[in-house]
């Protein structure tokens, strides 16, 4: 069992880990930037300027959470809180329960570290779909001098009459132990904002912290990227590495990073488990699942052109390298295309218009806009369901109305191979003029053969 309290981990780090990692400069410089240099002519000038540049670089990069996360060595993994540094951890003194008009709000836990503040709370007795649209929002953390909003999309679990949220906020000063969770109105209550006082204390020494094992040399794989048949787009330049792992009671939590900087890809999704396999030293498949609670904070902190995700193995394999193999990625490509639809002055719910407009997207990809259907799912907004098809490998498209900043879109269904929909939403009433819809990006699956390895100690 490798579960230890954080006092033991601090002792081990001071005794063993620093001695093994005294020279961090090569790794730090390699991760920050490659391929850029400055020519100097004086040995004294070189020393002075290098010192000043490194000092400024160290200070500046440490202020940026994404860069700080990329170059620091993590102290441990706390279930619920995620990766934490070696600074003092504070937690909620006791769970706090507030009940109003049949709705119960329970703050279950708070983790306050030097990197972030994580709050876990649940709501019971909530009526889904009732009340004002402004209700049921994510809570804020209120300090004496400011409010803190969540830094990235929270982890949310819902059920018929309630939900649970785990949200990450900015770190709070070490001398602040009293704060307030403010949750906006929750239907069907009429209480307005809910304010829940929170009291933080030092984490107990027996708090579960799983040690994080850094991959000493997470070599960037040389991918065998393949062009999509009939197009000139590939994922060449995309890399996959396993940066670190946390040894849990019954398995490992692996943190893998994909990087696609300097490619033609806009962004890349978390790999589909069907395209991602994990094997042991003997080639045997290791069962796993994507841990979204550990992944979500990493997604929000990732710099452009990079994504980190966490895989939880369901067994603890024997000693030997583990290999993560990725066969296909789902990539989003930025484009500048569009089409026009005229719903008329008084469309009826369920009315459809056949367009059959062919659109060139670039890189050899294209799609056909087959049909647009007008729906009224709610009195406050209308939906245009856009049905598209593609014979060139496009699996989805993002839409936008440049003339209406309030319009938004979401991916719809994929009913059959090469056929997909996107929903475009407008506040009522729908504009009466013909609509010029922009295709801002499209999605394709790109094949390859990326591998990353990690050897348990």
Q: What is the pLDDT of residue 370?
A: 96
Report whether 89 contacts 6 (CB < 8 A). yes
Number of CB atoms found within 10 A of residue 36's CB: 6
| Bond preceding residue 188 cis, omega within 30 of 0 | yes
Number of CB atoms found within 10 A of residue 61's CB: 16
Which residue stretches of the chain have pLDDT < 50? 1-72, 130-134, 222, 224-225, 227
CA distances, 344 to each of 116, 236, 425 (Å): 51, 46, 17
| Bond preceding residue 24 cis, omega within 30 of 0 | no
CA distances, 20 to each of 3, 31, 219 (Å): 22, 19, 19
Q: Is the dihedral of CA 77, 78, 81, 85 positive or negative?
A: negative
Q: Report the residue count for the chain.
A: 457
Q: Are strands 96-100 and 90-92 parallel, antiparallel or unpaired?
A: unpaired
DSSP string over 138-205: PPEEE-SS-EE--SSPPEEEEETTEEEEEEEE----TT--EEEEEE---TT----SEEEEEEEEEPPT
Q: Note the maximum CA span of the chain.
A: 78
Termini Cα distance of the chain = 13
Q: What is the pLDDT of residue 129?
A: 52
Residue 86 makes CB contacts below 8 A (sequence gap 6+) with 10, 13, 75
Number of CB atoms found within 10 A of residue 432's CB: 12
CB-count exposure of residue 116 (10 Å: 0-12, 13-18, 19+): buried
Three-state DSSP state, 221: coil
Nearest-5° Cα angle at 187, 181 to 190? 80
Shortest CA distance to 92 belongs to which of 104, 81, 76?
A: 81
CB-count exposure of residue 278 (10 Å: 0-12, 13-18, 19+): buried
The domain spans of the chain are 90-202, 333-447
Report whether 105 contacts 97 (CB < 8 A). yes
DSSP state of 405: T
DSSP string over 252-271: EEEEEEEE-TTSS-SEEPPP
Q: Is the dihedral of CA 199, 202, 208, 212 positive or negative?
A: positive
Where does residue 192 fall: left (phi above 0), alpha (psi -120 to 50 degrees), or beta otherwise?
left
Could you give the CA distance from residue 63 to residue 430 in angstroms, rounded to a whole number?
A: 45
Report whether 383 contacts 356 (CB < 8 A). no
Report whether 125 contacts 104 (CB < 8 A). yes
Beta strands in 342-411 (DSSP E): 352-362, 365-378, 381-389, 394-400, 408-411
* Rounded-to-10 torsion of CA 55, 56, 58, 63: 150
User: What's the whole-model pTM score?
Assistant: 0.72
Q: What is the pLDDT of residue 267?
A: 92
Report whether 148 contacts 159 (CB < 8 A). no
Q: What is the pLDDT of residue 414?
A: 77
The side-by-side arrangement of strands in the sheet containing 306-313 is 82-84, 76-78, 210-214, 239-247, 252-259, 306-313, 288-290
Q: What is the pLDDT of residue 229?
A: 52
Query: CATH top-level class for 90-202?
Result: mainly beta
Nearest-5° Cα angle at 118, 176 to 17? 90
């Amino acid at each position: 069992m490798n579960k230890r309290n954080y006092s033991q981990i601090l002792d081990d780090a001071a005794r063993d880990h620093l001695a093994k990692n005294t020279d961090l400069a090569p790794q730090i410089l390699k991760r920050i930037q490659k391929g850029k240099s400055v020519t100097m002519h004086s040995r004294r000038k070189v020393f002075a300027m290098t010192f000043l540049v490194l000092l400024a670089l160290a200070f500046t990069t440490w202020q940026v959470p994404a860069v700080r996360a990329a170059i620091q060595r993590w102290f441990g993994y706390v279930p619920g809180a995620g990766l934490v540094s070696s600074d003092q951890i504070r937690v909620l003194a006791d769970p706090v329960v507030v009940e109003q008009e049949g709705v119960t709000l329970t703050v279950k836990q708070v983790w306050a570290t030097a990197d972030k503040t994580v709050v876990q709370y649940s709501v019971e007795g909530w009526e889904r779909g009732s009340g004002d649209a402004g209700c049921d929002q994510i809570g804020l953390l209120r300090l004496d001098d400011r409010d803190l909003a969540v830094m990235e999309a929270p982890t949310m679990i819902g059920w018929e009459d309630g939900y649970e949220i785990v949200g990450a906020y900015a770190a709070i000063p070490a001398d602040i132990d009293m704060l307030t969770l403010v949750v906006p109105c929750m239907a069907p209550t009429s209480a307005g904002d809910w304010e829940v006082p929170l009291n933080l204390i030092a984490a107990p020494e027996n708090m579960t912290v799983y040690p994080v094992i850094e991959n000493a040399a997470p070599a960037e794989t040389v991918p065998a990227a393949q062009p999509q048949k009939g197009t000139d787009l590939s994922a060449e330049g995309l890399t996959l590495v396993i940066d670190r792992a946390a040894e849990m009671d019954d398995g490992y939590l692996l943190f893998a990073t994909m990087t696609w900087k300097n490619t033609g890809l806009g962004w890349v999704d978390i790999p589909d488990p069907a395209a991602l396999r994990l094997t042991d030293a003997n080639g045997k498949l290791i069962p796993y699942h994507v841990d979204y609670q550990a992944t979500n904070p990493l997604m929000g902190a990732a710099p452009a052109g990079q994504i980190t995700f966490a895989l939880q193995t369901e067994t603890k394999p024997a000693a030997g390298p583990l290999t993560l193999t990725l066969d296909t990625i789902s990539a989003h490509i930025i484009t500048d295309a569009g089409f026009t639809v005229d719903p008329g002055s008084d469309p009826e719910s369920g009315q459809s218009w056949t367009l059959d407009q062919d659109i060139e997207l670039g890189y050899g990809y294209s799609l056909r806009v087959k049909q647009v259907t007008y729906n009224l799912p709610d009195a406050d907004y209308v939906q245009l369901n856009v049905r598209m098809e593609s014979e060139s490998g496009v699996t989805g498209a993002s839409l936008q109305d440049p003339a209406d900043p309030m319009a938004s879109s979401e991916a719809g269904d994929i009913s059959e191979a090469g056929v997909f929909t996107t929903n475009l939403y407008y506040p009522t009433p729908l504009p009466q003029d013909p609509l010029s819809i922009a295709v801002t990006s499209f999605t394709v699956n790109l094949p390859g053969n990326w591998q990353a390895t990690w050897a348990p100690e």
